[in-house]
Chain A
Amino acid sequence: MIVEAILLTVITASTPLVIAAMGELVTERSGVLNLGVEGMMIIGAVCAFIATNMTGSPYIGLLAGVATGAVFSLLFGFLTLTLVANQVATGLALTILGLGVSGMVGESVVGVPGVKMQPLVIPLLSDIPVVGPILFAQDLFFYLSILLVIGVNWYLFKSRSGLRLRAIGDSHGSAHTLGLPVIRTRYLAVMFGGACAGLAGAQLSLVYTPQWVENMSAGRGWIALALVVFAAWRPWRVLAGGYLFGAVTIGQLHAQALGIGLPSQFLSALPYAATIVVLIIISHNRRTTLINTPACLGKPFVPDR
């Protein structure tokens, strides 16, 4: 029972990381480095919460989160793809703006109790003895996260359109010469990333803690970015890594609750320290990093006519 309860909390903690990381994975595979995941996530969180508050339905809130995340990412897309601004700085600007706007917009709903999204129980499968209630009686966000992993994996590696996207991310010059629509594909990839980040944010304010607190994303957007690097830009590894991080996050919360001797701040720092360690392990082999990274990641593209 305790194990089951812990597993459920791990799932809830890992889902937003997986969702946000999948969106960023697609964006980075197309060659764009969007550091604004944290900003898009928090905007999705606040808009989802407000929409749910206004309509009473968390599903409307989910849609609101997705939509606002995508629209917000358009700002980033315009600056980096049309105006060819520095991608690192623009991503940071997006994060700062997102944190500011969400704080301002969310002020009116601080402390308002939220509507938690109820689990969708899948009839037959959820009766399977141990696994059933854990995997098949979850909320929509969890199912979406798994569908995202499967869908993105299929899209990137089994579809022609995905092949083109990866080609654009690895060599935008050659892709452009071949006539592939580099800028348009990247815009769509950026918006997909924004939609996913918004979806992840919606999960935070509708499932994880059904309320609005300023800065409630607490650096998860950055951890999602690290997750994409850790997963070597591969979908299934994002799932594995996401659950690893979720486990660490939940583990330290439970440890704090159990009153383990270590100070609470030390335990709270564990996910961030774990992120650093994981990054070191993954990146230190320069050759593998070079092979796995989309070759044109972060490089500005100006089509010469």
Chain B
Amino acid sequence: MRIELERRPRQSSLFAVVSPLLALALTVLFGGIMFALLGKDPVAALYSFFIEPLLEVWSLHELAIKAAPLILIAVGLSVCYRSNNWNIGAEGQFTVGAIVGAIVPITFYEWHSPLLLPLMMIMGAIGGAAYGAIPALLKTRFNTNEILTSLMLVYIAQLFLDWLTRGIWKDPAGYNFPQSRSFVTEGVLPEVLSSGRAHYGIVFAIIAAIAVWFMMRYTLKGFQVNVLGQSERAGRFAGFSGRKMVWFSMMFSGALAGLAGISEVSGSIGHLQPSISPGYGFTAIIVAFLGRLNPLGIIASGFVLALTYLGGEGAQLSIGVSDKVTRVFQGLLLFFVLSCDTLILYKVRIVFDRVRAVSAKAAS
């Protein structure tokens, strides 16, 4: 018995929609099995994981808070991956964006002005873009693999943040805790609705997603991204520069990640500290793939993955499973997404070997 793949003449549009849903269903199924193996009631566990976080208003706000950076980063990553530039260092660009965006409220901590917030956001985006430019430079000038360089830069960025918050940016009135001064009120991203904590980060995320969707679908830039991603040679014949696309995609996704970073720090936390992200930059990779690299799909998948974060926390409280379950769910989800994506390009056939039976029959 073996599995045979037969290439479809055209991408199946049915499976383009069904595949992420199928992946989600399989993940829930395997998750239930995993809960059962851990000795917990699978139905109750799945309920507390996926349904309970949706039942209360404050919980929906928390969902929006978690989904905002995921969507923002993933939208940038979708542009990168579509152009075949593998930016894995979004977590580092997130961190550097937060650091650069926090320069003004921390060094000029007495400055109150309505300009503070926009300045922070812009600087955050610039910081992230600059950090994303490093792997771009290394790829175009030195032919260095961007996966490894962007990843190494993540560790370096996190260590830099650790050094800043324990050292020169430590709050003198903070009882020696490793955190910076708290931002003034003008430097905190305000809430969107009065019913909860959700801040404008989610607004940025949705606007960015719609804007990028428009760019990818209706503008020349989007066309360039797609063509260069599928065949660099074809792009060159059309006059598109692969080199410039490396710069554009890495800096664009870096900027969005940086914006996500400063939004998260400003809206959710209110100061800088050594740990500002539960792995948003890496989870955003899953969000991007689950959303099939389409910004509108990413809005949905961002909320799905935010749900897994909340579900993990909730399940820990109500069922007693470890919160590591979240990472396992996310990894499983990506696995199933990638498996089900095969159905879009290929027809899968399970072939039972009849050759031997036929030849045996012929010989007799």
Q: Is A112 an interface residue (CB 8 A)?
A: no
Contact of A280 with B144 at beta-carbon distance under 8 Å, contacts A85-B338, A92-B334, A266-B163 already known: yes
The reply to whether A104 and B342 form a contact with Cβ atoms under 8 Å apart is: no
Known: A97-B328, A100-B327. A265 touches B163 (CB 8 A): yes
**In the complex, chain B residues whose CB is within 8 Å of the CB of A86:** 338, 341
Instruction: Give CA–CA (A68, B287) in the complex, Å.
Output: 28
Q: State whether A280 and B142 are in contact (beta carbons under 8 Å apart), knowing that A75-B335, A93-B335 are contacts in the complex.
A: yes
Contact pattern, A 82-103, Cβ under 8 Å of B = 1, otherwise 0 = 1111101110111011111101
Cβ-defined partner of B326 (8 Å) among A83, A100, A226: A100
Q: Contact check, B330 vs A104: say whether CB atoms are below 8 A apart.
A: no
Which of B145, B166, B328, B331 is the one whose CB lies under 8 Å from A283?
Answer: B145
Stretch at the interface among A23-31, A125-133, A269-277: A269-277
Contact A229 to B148, CB < 8 A, known contacts A97-B332, A273-B156, A286-B143: yes
B339 to A103, Cβ gap below 8 A? no
Interface string of A37-54 (1 = CB under 8 A from B): 000000000000000000
Q: Number of B interface residues at 8 Å Cβ cutoff, please give it.
A: 49
Which residue on B lies nearest to A88, using beta carbons?
A: B86
User: By the criterion CB–CB under 8 Å, are B341 and A289 in contact?
Assistant: no
| Chain B neighbourhood of A103, CB < 8 A | 322, 324, 327
Inter-subunit contact B282/A84 (CB<8 Å): no
How far is it, in angstroms, between the C-alpha of A285 and the C-alpha of B141 when the chains are bound?
10
The answer to whether B152 touches A222 (Cβ under 8 A) is yes
B interface secondary structure, majority: helix
Interface status of A219 (Cβ within 8 A of chain B): yes
**Which A residues are in CB contact (< 8 Å) with B162?**
265
Please tell me which one of the listed residues A90, A104, A269 contacts residue B325 in the complex, with CB atoms under 8 A apart: A104
Does residue A261 face the partner (Cβ distance < 8 Å to B)?
Answer: no
Pick from B149, B328, B342: contact of A83, CB under 8 Å = B342
> Interface of A with B (CB < 8 Å)?
35, 75, 79, 82-86, 88-90, 92-94, 96-101, 103-104, 107, 219, 222, 225-226, 229, 263, 265-266, 268-269, 272-273, 275-276, 279-280, 283-286, 289, 302, 305
Q: Could you list some 16 contacts between A and B, CB below 8 A?
A: A83-B338, A88-B86, A96-B286, A96-B334, A97-B328, A101-B328, A103-B327, A107-B324, A222-B151, A229-B145, A272-B153, A275-B148, A283-B143, A284-B141, A284-B144, A302-B7
**9 tightest CB-CB pairs across the interface, nearest first?**
A100-B327, A97-B331, A265-B163, A104-B324, A93-B334, A103-B324, A100-B328, A284-B142, A96-B331
New A-B contacts (12) at CB < 8 Å, excluding given A84-B345, A100-B326, A283-B145: A79-B335, A85-B338, A86-B338, A88-B86, A88-B147, A99-B327, A100-B330, A263-B167, A268-B159, A269-B160, A276-B153, A283-B143
